[in-house]
Amino acid sequence: MKRGQITAILLVLTLAIAALSFTGCTSGETTTPGSPFVGGTNGILMSFLEGNPPAEVTDDKTYPFNVVVKVKNDGEANIRSSTLKITLSGFDPKEFGFSDGGAEAITNTLKEELTATRKDVEGNTIEGSTVYMTFPPEDSGLPPFEYTGKLSGNTPFTIRADACYLYGTQANAKLCLKRNVLEPDKKGGVCKVTESKTVYNSGGPVQVTSLKESVGGQGKVSITFTLEHKGNGKIYLAESTGYRVHGDSPL
């Protein structure tokens, strides 16, 4: 009986949507509130459950096993069911008992909502939820993986998990609104129209890194902001993947 080694590699791919919400200045006392968000630049965090996949396998179909991926929502957007998909790669499913290519065995879609990390009313951090996604999927009726060939010695196998999911970021900034925006900002005034604003971001891979308000004309203000990918994984436009942004929005 020979044994082969399995190397586990993780890669996260992220779909992100950015949304903005603002509050206006009012007369009276001024305050400097802290961030309403937990913050951070993560969306999901992934890891393989220890022993799934195992560090080594035996040949001749004598060591069946499953692959289990632990997925935690570490950011501040909910991930709705069916908007996260994990695909395994790096190995040939045919060598592990799936003669038809094993497409169904190496893909799994989120079946429940992954709730976001958040702050409670007292400012305490409530951790986001965690799920364990099994391959082959438990509801597929498929048998576990098992190496069907012969091994002449220790043989490395690579199993990689790619996650593609819909995510969102909220950014909160305080704008200056006054009757006559063309009037020059006064020293000691309640707020200034023309200036860079402090921006607070919810936890997520895409962040609003700067926001500036300026006069846009009579009775108008202009807002310019910069979006940056600050987290792990890669970012794609949601529309390019076929997701319905309004129906599946995590915000």
State both tokens at 82.
């069916």
Phi, psi (rounded to 5 degrees) for 2: -105, 160
Look at residue 251 and tell me if it is in a domain: no
Q: State yes or no: pLDDT of 9 exceeds 50.
A: no
Do the beta carbons of residue 137 and residue 108 sit within 8 Å?
A: yes
The pLDDT of residue 249 is 61
- Scanning the chain, the segments in alpha helix (DSSP H) are 245-248
State both tokens at 89.
């790669």
Q: How far is CA 100 from CA 63, 97, 159, 242, in A?
A: 21, 9, 19, 27
Phi, psi (rounded to 5 degrees) for 228: -135, 145
β-pair type (235-236, 3-24): parallel
Do the beta carbons of residue 54 and residue 92 sit within 8 Å?
A: no
H/E element, 224? strand 220-229
State both tokens at 112.
């429940």
Q: State yes or no: pLDDT of 6 exceeds 60.
A: no
Mean pLDDT to the nearest integer, 197-223:
91
pLDDT digits (tens, 9 = 90+) for 147-183: 888 877 657 778 999 999 999 899 998 888 888 888 8
The pLDDT of residue 22 is 37
Cα dihedral 181, 182, 184, 190, rounded to 10, equals: -10
Q: What is the distance between the alpha carbons of residues 131 and 116, in angstroms, rounded to a whole number? A: 13
Mean per-residue pLDDT over the chain, rounded:
82
Which residue did the predictor score with more confidence, 67 or 61? 67
The pLDDT of residue 27 is 37
Do the beta carbons of residue 44 and residue 114 sit within 8 Å?
A: yes
H/E element, 76? none
Q: State yes or no: pLDDT of 248 exceeds 70.
A: no
Which residue did the predictor score with more confidence, 156 or 63? 63
The pLDDT of residue 220 is 87
Which residue did the predictor score with more confidence, 165 or 16? 165
Q: State yes or no: pLDDT of 33 exceeds 70.
A: no
CA angle centred on 166, ends 164 and 172, rounded to 5°:
135
Q: What is the distance between the alpha carbons of residues 58 and 242, in angstroms, rounded to a whole number? A: 41
Considering its fold, how many domains does the chain have in total?
1
Look at residue 52 and tell me if it is in a domain: yes
Q: State yes or no: pLDDT of 54 exceeds 50.
A: yes
The pLDDT of residue 219 is 83
Query: Percentage of the chain surpassing pLDDT 70?
Result: 79
Query: Percentage of the chain surpassing pLDDT 90?
Result: 47
Look at residue 101 and tell me if it is in a domain: yes
State both tokens at 131.
């799920």
The pLDDT of residue 202 is 93
pLDDT digits (tens, 9 = 90+) for 180-199: 888 887 777 788 889 999 99
β partners of residue 53: none
Residue 180 DSSP code: -
Q: State yes or no: pLDDT of 85 exceeds 70.
A: yes
Q: What is the distance between the alpha carbons of residues 142 and 148, in angstroms, rounded to a whole number? A: 16
Q: State yes or no: pLDDT of 226 exceeds 60.
A: yes
Which residue did the predictor score with more confidence, 79 or 8? 79
pLDDT digits (tens, 9 = 90+) for 234-247: 888 766 666 555 55
Look at residue 195 and tell me if it is in a domain: yes
Q: Can you give the residue range of the structural domain that contains 190? A: 3-246
Look at residue 210 and tell me if it is in a domain: yes
For residue 30, what pLDDT band results from cuts at 50, 70 and 90?
very low
